[in-house]
């Protein structure tokens, strides 16, 4: 009888342990199987499809556009639209942000893979926009006064619409630009 109880309790403990492990599965770094997007404004568009990625950059996209592998788009891209990221500042006002996430991460927010987005050019029109943790291969045209690179590389030039756009550009210590950074005349 004691052996039967011991076996039964071992089986139940194993089942509970396995169920707990399944609940901790990291879904943040995985793309939906059909590359669809949810309807919530604060949600992300996570994809490996070049057409879906390009469309997600538009004014009807999401606040974050995340790649799940290297992506090449053979046309000029435009990041446009003003998006709230679902977070609030200390005064309770919803924060505006737009992020091109060229990486995946684990449940502790450690970057697990970095990707390259390749296109002839990308025009940044969204306020509070950033490219994060990957590489953009092509030229960047900045029309907003608060664009930033966060642990990212631009393998190309960055052209600013005016001096205010150039002055508002921020790049952390791990980011780099291989080409020129100048105001487009």
Structure tokens belonging to residue 78: 């435009």
- The pLDDT value recorded for residue 44 is 81
Quote the CA–CA distance of 20 and 142 in Å, as a whole number.
46
Average pLDDT for residues 118-144, to the nearest whole number? 97
Alpha helices, DSSP H only, in the chain?
Answer: 2-23, 50-56, 163-168
Owning domain of residue 101:
28-183
- Does residue 184 carry a pLDDT above 80? yes
Residue 30 main-chain phi, psi, to 5 deg: -110, 140
**Nearest Cα to 171, choosing from 141, 154, 148, 153?**
148
Bigger pLDDT: 9 or 82? 82
- Give the pair of three-digit tokens for residue 29: 């770094």
Residue 153, domain member (yes or no): yes
Q: Is residue 154 part of a domain?
A: yes
Please report which confidence band the pLDDT of residue 8 belongs to, taking 50, 70 and 90 as the band edges.
Answer: very low
pLDDT digits (tens, 9 = 90+) for 108-129: 999 999 999 999 999 999 999 9
Asked if residue 141 is part of any domain, the answer here is yes
69 part of a folded domain: yes
* Residue bearing tokens 């000029």: 76
pLDDT at 52: 95
Give the chain's end-to-end CA distance (angstroms, integer): 87
In the chain, count H helices and then E strands: 3, 18
Closest Cα partner for 42 from 80, 99, 91? Answer: 99
Task: Please give the structure tokens belonging to residue 164.
Answer: 């205010």
User: Do the domain assignments include residue 11?
Assistant: no
Q: Is residue 4 assigned to a domain?
A: no
Report if residue 10 sits inside a domain: no
Taking the C-alpha atoms of residue 48 and residue 115, their distance in angstroms, rounded to an integer, is 10
Total number of domains in the chain: 1
Q: How many CB atoms lie within 10 A of CB 66?
A: 25
Number of Cβ within 10 Å of residue 127's Cβ equals 15
| Digit-coded pLDDT (tens) for 23-73 | 333 333 333 333 333 333 457 899 999 999 999 999 999 899 999 999 999
Give the dihedral sign, CA 99/152/55/181: positive
Q: Mean pLDDT, the chain, as a whole number?
A: 82
Asked if residue 18 belongs to a domain, the reply is: no
């Amino acid at each position: 009888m004691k052996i039967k109880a011991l076996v039964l309790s071992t089986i139940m403990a194993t089942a509970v342990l396995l169920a707990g492990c399944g609940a901790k599965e990291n879904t943040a770094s995985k793309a939906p199987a059909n590359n669809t997007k949810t309807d919530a404004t604060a949600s992300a568009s996570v994809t490996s499809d070049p057409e879906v990625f390009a469309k997600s950059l538009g004014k009807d996209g999401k606040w974050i556009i995340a790649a799940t592998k290297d992506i090449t788009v053979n046309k000029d891209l435009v990041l446009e639209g003003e998006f709230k990221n679902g977070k609030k500042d200390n005064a309770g006002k919803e924060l505006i942000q737009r992020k091109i996430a060229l990486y995946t991460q684990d449940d502790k927010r450690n970057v697990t893979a970095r990707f390259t987005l390749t296109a002839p050019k990308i025009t940044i029109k969204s306020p509070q926009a950033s490219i994060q943790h990957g590489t953009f291969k092509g030229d960047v045209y900045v029309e907003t006064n608060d664009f930033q690179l966060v642990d990212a590389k631009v393998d190309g030039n960055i052209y600013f619409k005016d001096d205010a756009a150039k002055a508002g550009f921020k790049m952390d210590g791990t980011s780099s630009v291989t080409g020129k950074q100048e105001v487009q005349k």
